[in-house]
Amino acid sequence: MKLALTLAAAFAAIGTAEAQDLRPLCPDRPGLDTPACTVDPGHLVAEMGTIDWSLDRDAGQRSDSFTFGDLLLRYGIAQHAEIQLGWTALGTVRKRDRTTGAVTHDGGTGAVTHDGGTGDVTLAVRRNLSHPDGSGFAAAVMPYATLPVGGATIGAGDWGAGLIVPLSYSLTDKIGLSLTPEIDAAVDQDRHGRHLAYGSAIGLTTALTSSVSSAFELQAVRDRDPAGHATQALASLSVAWQPRSNLQLDMGAVAGLNHASPDVELYMGIARRF
């Protein structure tokens, strides 16, 4: 927790870069959709989820998951292209038996109340095909890969890969539509091998003021894990505030719409352009 707050303070404290010739700040966070915009060449956007909590309950168990310092670095390498590196500094999982009240750590029983560890590393390239500033009709392709460097708590255990196709369209200067289909080679639940997963998010974004925006999104993902096929369905509401041209603060909530989805997720974060 201290690490996340320290990093957030550092982002906000660093001097503002000259922005008169830069595109509007267009972070990946918050929300379920992925934007089609890319970072200006030679510039870096650092995005961090300071805290994220999710709750998943079934008939026998309650699981609380926390992540701190969920970091994404995006660097512009051309007018229409950027590279990305993502990593989660810390994640914890706490499980409780809803019948007996006994607490277990992730993966077994014992005296400890929870397990924690770091996350995997994600590498990605985003190539914009239309309007790199995200205006009008914007489209991009984004292949990515995950490297299994994280611990057993929140790490997948094996490498994964996928392709995301961000799309967006500005209906007016204040309202926009977004669509993010994707197909993944997702890691199996037993942490060895991969399987097909696919789905899409769709959203409606609204500029509430010149510096505050909100988004309502829906997402469905079909996961064909050998341990059991399932379809997650989610609804999201998020708000972002840009007090300066190079800084954004955000918060959001996600609700599961079926039994295969986590019940609820709450998060907040920050994005900073250098």
pLDDT band at 222 (very low <50, low <70, confident <90, very high): very high
Flag whether pLDDT at 103 surpasses 60: no
Identify the three-state secondary structure at position 125.
strand
CA gap 164, 36 in Å, rounded: 10
Residue 115 has a pLDDT of 80
pTM, entire model: 0.86
- Residue whose entry in the numeric block shows the structure tokens 């977004």: 178
Our count of domains for the chain comes to: 1
- pLDDT tier for residue 114 given thresholds of 50, 70 and 90: low
Task: Find the domain containing 134 and state its range.
Answer: 2-273
State the pLDDT confidence band at 15, using cuts at 50, 70 and 90. Answer: very low
Tell me the pLDDT tens digit for each residue of 124-143. Answer: 999 999 999 999 999 999 99
- Residue 229 reports pLDDT greater than 50: yes
Let me know the angle formed at the C-alpha of 190 by 188 and 195, rounded to the nearest 5 degrees: 15
pLDDT higher than 70, residue 78:
yes
- Checking if the pLDDT of 64 tops 70, the result is yes
Give 110's pLDDT tier (boundaries 50, 70, 90). Answer: very low
Question: What is the CA angle 48-52-53, rounded to 5?
Answer: 175
Q: Looking at residue 15, which CATH number applies to its domain?
A: 2.40.160.40
